[in-house]
Amino acid sequence: MGKFIYVVLLMFVSAYQGDSELNPKVTRSFTIDYKNDQFLKDGKPFRYISGSIHYFRTLPSEWRDRLRKLRMAGFNAVQTYVEWASHEPEPDLYDFSGILDMEAFIRIAHEEDLLVILRPGPYIDAERDMGGLPYWLLRKNKDMRLRTSDPTYLEEVEDWFTNILFPKIKPLLYEYGGPIIMMQVENEYGSYPACDYAYTAYLRDLYYREFGHSVVLFTTDGDSTSFLKCGKIQEVFSTIDFGPGGNISKIFKSMRLFQPHGPLVNSEYYPGWLDHWGQPHSIIGYQEVAKSFEEMLQLNASVNMYMFHGGTSFGFTAGSNSGSEFLVCPTSYDYDAPLSEAGDPTEKYWVLRNITQKFLPIPAGTVPPPSPKYKYGDVNLSVLGSVLQLRFLLQSVHATWPLTFEELFVPNGLVLYETTITFRTSDPARLTISDIHDRGYVFVDERFVGMVSREAEMYDLALQSLPNQTLSIIVESQGRVCFGEGINDFKGLTTRPTLSDYELRNWSMTPIPVTNITRLLSALHNLEKILKQRKVRPEQLRGTERGGMSFYKGTFEIPSISSHPRDTFLKLKGWSKGIAWVNDFCLGRYWPEVGPQVTLYVPRGILKHGTNSILILEQEASPCQIPSQCIVSLEESPNINGPTPKTDI
């Protein structure tokens, strides 16, 4: 009897081991064959053609559509970052829901027959606020040396990786039946001046400790020795990134200097490029992109296209860049990619698909069509009240000297700084804020008197003032620096302002809760009730004579038929600069005055049948001095290539 049970048990175990999904270690492996310069998938030669899609830049309702379009282009893998800042917005407060459900995105990719190349960071760049690092690191230690072996930084990284992120990733690895075949260590570290080998070795060891040595780790750096010498990590596979043009074979020689054996890999091949407010929209012709793409594939290289679908930096997630000048990234991350911001196949998509099918089979079936768009038309708005009126319903902090956003527990958005002028000044007096981060709107006794701007390098303002008047400065964060040595980018009044060379003291600081829609709506509701009771006239609700620093609201209807809601685009003709919400979802920042982005993408996933709401915070000037022109419109076509100051010169 015992022998019979043993035989049955042996048969059961054998059957269990034969199922790779149940016990994938028996048959599933992804390795590098250094001798023959190739990847091996389950022991067989393999080459990937991958495309970057960031789950946090596309609504979950659209993930499958974008991933299927990637697969139907013949690509066999998707690459995505993991953004620490979004998943842990405050210490020990975690969010993996909705647009941040990383695991669900990876599972859908698996269902769509795509492998996954994961880039967990901790730093990602990606033109995100602070390169995807949590802003609160700067609050915990203002002298923290990010992306180095600084113990205070490593402590936070290790807690995030080992206790939160890595346990979510491990079951999704290829060897355990999931789609993740490779993971990147850090990101383009060779471009970071610290060049801390102890830090990158620490990260490598952390990965191997948690996942074992069977996992394939890689680094990505620019295609020159100056980048690779600090980006290379011993015992980690080195890859490079570069865009179209140039001699492809020659470019790959730089990789071979640091990675003599193994497959050729371009981990970021650029079919487009990022944009900045006030500068022309970046476009790269499909002919140039296609030529270099095919040349790489002819060399048997593995290629990841960054981006295949760029998507949108919703809310306040877009970052900025600094160097010779401070440049701010717009809300759209279209990137001139094969799939547009709304996920529509472009001409570039079809050209690249034709090339891909020469090297990999195209799946059976048809490419999903573009999403239907709709022109919902004009939306009448009315003014709710101003930021200065709202401040009386919000909590303030008082200190002798101005505190930064980080010290005030403010991740982004706006903070109102106020002080009383206690002395007599010259006429005019010079207000100097030598290090404004990033844009300051200045009021004297609630009268708007001008701006200071990091972007324009304007740090002085002439104004008239008298003793006992209130000086108010509404400071806007335009996104923390995402690349290079300036990522320790504190926001707000990061220096002590002076008036006629006298340091101003005793500040009151009021965060405007634009990053917390629940708190914002509650405050606006209470403000609206108070202003109605006082019978305040509409013109008294504006923060400035031109309607700046004011909130506006309106509603529009969507037909209750199955073909709706549809994607649409918010156009703000006559409006200047601000923030827009639809159905309490923050679309992001708008700034059509400087371009190139003129419209904001409104995905159908945030719309509903019946009544929908729009909320606008206009910071500078609205068209509402004429009530009939106090409108925005919902259009069926985007415009992210509008005029800019650079194109008009």
Among residues of the chain, what percentage have pLDDT more than 90?
94
Q: Supply 15's token pair.
A: 């059957």
Helix (H, G, I), strand (E, B) or coil at 617: strand
State the chain's mean pLDDT as an integer.
Answer: 94
Contacts of 222 (CB under 8 A, 6+ apart): 188, 190, 191, 228, 240, 241, 242
**Residue 8's pLDDT is what?**
33
The residues that are catalytic are 188, 268
**Residue 92's pLDDT is what?**
98
**Residue 3's pLDDT is what?**
37
Whole-number Å distance between alpha carbons of 286 and 271: 8
Cα separation values, 82 from 101, 285, 351, 552, Å = 10, 30, 30, 35
**Residue 2's pLDDT is what?**
41
The string of pLDDT tens digits covering residues 391-415 is 999 999 999 999 999 999 999 999 9
User: Is 595 a residue whose pLDDT tops 70?
Assistant: yes
The residue-averaged pLDDT of 353-362 equals 98
The string of pLDDT tens digits covering residues 321-352 is 998 899 999 999 999 999 999 999 999 999 99
Q: Taking the CB of residue 482, how many other CB atoms lie within 10 A of it?
A: 26
The residue-averaged pLDDT of 55-84 equals 98
pLDDT band at 649 (very low <50, low <70, confident <90, very high): low
pLDDT band at 538 (very low <50, low <70, confident <90, very high): confident
pLDDT band at 537 (very low <50, low <70, confident <90, very high): confident
User: Is 20 a residue whose pLDDT tops 70?
Assistant: no
User: Is 25 a residue whose pLDDT tops 50?
Assistant: no
Whole-number Å distance between alpha carbons of 259 and 235: 10
Q: Answer positive or negative: Cα dihedral of 525, 511, 602, 541.
A: positive
Length of the chain: 649
Contacts of 377 (CB under 8 A, 6+ apart): 556, 633, 634
pLDDT band at 645 (very low <50, low <70, confident <90, very high): very high
- DSSP run (H or E) holding 379: strand 377-380
Whole-number Å distance between alpha carbons of 632 and 647: 25
The residue-averaged pLDDT of 436-460 equals 97
**Residue 48's pLDDT is what?**
98
Q: Taking the CB of residue 94, how many other CB atoms lie within 10 A of it?
A: 15
User: Is 566 a residue whose pLDDT tops 60?
Assistant: yes
In the chain, the amino acid numbered 386 is S
Give which of 90, 84, 95, 89 is closest to 119, Cα–Cα. 84
**Residue 539's pLDDT is what?**
84
The string of pLDDT tens digits covering residues 250-273 is 999 999 999 999 999 999 999 999
Residue for token pair 């920042």: 589
In what side-by-side order are the strands of the sheet with 631-635? 377-380, 631-635, 568-571, 599-602
345-354 LR contacts (CB < 8 Å, sep 24+): 345/69, 345/370, 347/286, 348/271, 348/286, 348/289, 348/290, 349/69, 349/73, 351/286, 351/287, 351/289, 351/290, 352/73, 352/271, 352/286, 352/289, 352/290, 352/293, 352/305, 353/72, 353/73, 353/74
User: Is 11 a residue whose pLDDT tops 80?
Assistant: no
**Residue 387's pLDDT is what?**
98
Helix (H, G, I), strand (E, B) or coil at 68: helix
**Residue 6's pLDDT is what?**
35
In what side-by-side order are the strands of the sheet with 578-582? 382-386, 550-558, 610-618, 578-582, 585-590
Give which of 149, 141, 136, 130 is closest to 83, Cα–Cα. 130
* Helices within 94-150 (DSSP H only): 102-111, 136-140
Side-chain half-sphere CA neighbours of 111 within 13 A: 10
Do 300 and 33 contact (CB within 8 A), yes or no?
Answer: no
Q: What domains can you pick out in the chain, each with its CATH number?
A: 44-356 (3.20.20.80), 377-385+516-648 (2.60.120.260), 395-512 (2.60.120.260)
pLDDT band at 611 (very low <50, low <70, confident <90, very high): very high
- DSSP run (H or E) holding 30: strand 30-33
The residue-averaged pLDDT of 424-433 equals 94
**Residue 27's pLDDT is what?**
81
- DSSP run (H or E) holding 205: helix 197-211
Predicted TM-score (pTM) of this structure: 0.94
User: Which residues on neighbouring strands pair with residue 475, listed in sequence order?
Assistant: 415, 440
The string of pLDDT tens digits covering residues 144-179 is 999 999 999 999 999 999 999 999 999 999 999 999
Whole-number Å distance between alpha carbons of 114 and 134: 30
**Residue 648's pLDDT is what?**
53
In the chain, the amino acid numbered 639 is N
Q: With helix as H, strand as E and coil as C, how does 160-201 read?
A: HHHHHHHHHHHHHEHHHCCCEEEEECCCCHHHCCCCCHHHHH
Give me the helix-helix angle, 347-356 and 286-298, nearest 10°. Answer: 20
Whole-number Å distance between alpha carbons of 285 and 288: 6
The residue-averaged pLDDT of 91-95 equals 98
In what side-by-side order are the strands of the sheet with 30-33? 30-33, 38-41, 44-46
